[in-house]
Chains A and B, each alone.
With several copies, the nearest count.
Chain A
Amino acid sequence: MKFGILVNEGPYNHQASDTAYQFTKAALENGHEIFRVFFYYDGVNNATSLGQPPSDDRNVTKNWQKLAEDHKVDLVVCVAAGLRRGIVDGNLAPGFRISGLGQLIEAGIQADRVVAFGD
């Protein structure tokens, strides 16, 4: 089954991004396909290349990057939401790409299920 994932909140402040990551990982482990993970609202902050969480805590951005590397998961940051909040080409972490909100609607059309995580 093909899943689209929507992440509405930034890392650390809310668990939303962590739960979305665990869901995505479990879906892949169960043999499902991830059509796309779309980062909207404050969710765009997951894609910063500049975060340095304490060494005894998880690194949310790295978690997403590893999924992209290992499973070619498409990680898309909303361009408009990102511009508003300062997530742009200059500080975009490798593994993420910036595109339009249409990519979320497309995920809604193409994926069998859309699962959203937020506040």
Chain B
Amino acid sequence: MDEMESGVVKKFMFINRKPPHGTVYALEVLEMVLISAAFDQDVHLAFIDDGVYQIKKGQAPAEIGCKNFSPTYRALDGYDIEKLYVEAEGLAERGLTEDDLLVPVEVLSRAELGKLMGEMDVILTA
């Protein structure tokens, strides 16, 4: 894949707005994120709105018959994906705190995240 050596580095942001398990988006976004790591891009992950539920501790979907992909979020730093942001308002509305999250993140206000989104080159939201 010669694009891997193209030298172009763009700011990618994957914005997660949906809860896990009810739809496949969280899982398939994670697949996009993992692939993007191979292209040496500047990858950002944001969890806003119901997306904050994706990184909630204690998920155990065996009884609904689904795969537990939540441990993968913890493996992201092994792929040098370390820019994870969670929206403070999203946590608060849902009665959650940083202690409820299964992976270290930077908590930003909606205003701060909006500003950061404005600096991106490519945004993929789901």
A positions within 8 Å CB-CB of B: 6, 8, 12-15, 18-19, 21-22, 40-41, 56-58, 63, 80-81, 100-102, 104-106, 108-110, 114, 116, 118
15 contacts between A and B (CB under 8 A): A6-B124, A8-B126, A41-B25, A57-B66, A81-B28, A101-B31, A101-B32, A102-B3, A104-B35, A105-B36, A108-B41, A109-B8, A110-B6, A114-B123, A116-B124
Is the pair B1, A15 in contact by a Cβ cutoff of 8 Å? no
Across-interface contacts of B124 in A (CB, < 8 A) = 6, 108, 114, 116
Q: Which residue of chain B has the shortest Cβ distance to A59 in the bound complex?
A: B65
With most chain A CB atoms within 10 A of its CB, the pick from B22, B41, B123 is: B22
Partner of A110, one of B3, B64, B67: B3
A-B residue pair count with CB separations less than 8 angstroms: 78
- The B36-68 residues at the A interface (CB cut-off 8 A) are 36, 38-39, 41, 64-67
Across-interface contacts of A19 in B (CB, < 8 A) = 64
Alpha-carbon distance A13/B22, docked complex (angstroms): 8
Alpha-carbon distance A21/B66, docked complex (angstroms): 12
- The B86-126 residues at the A interface (CB cut-off 8 A) are 121-126
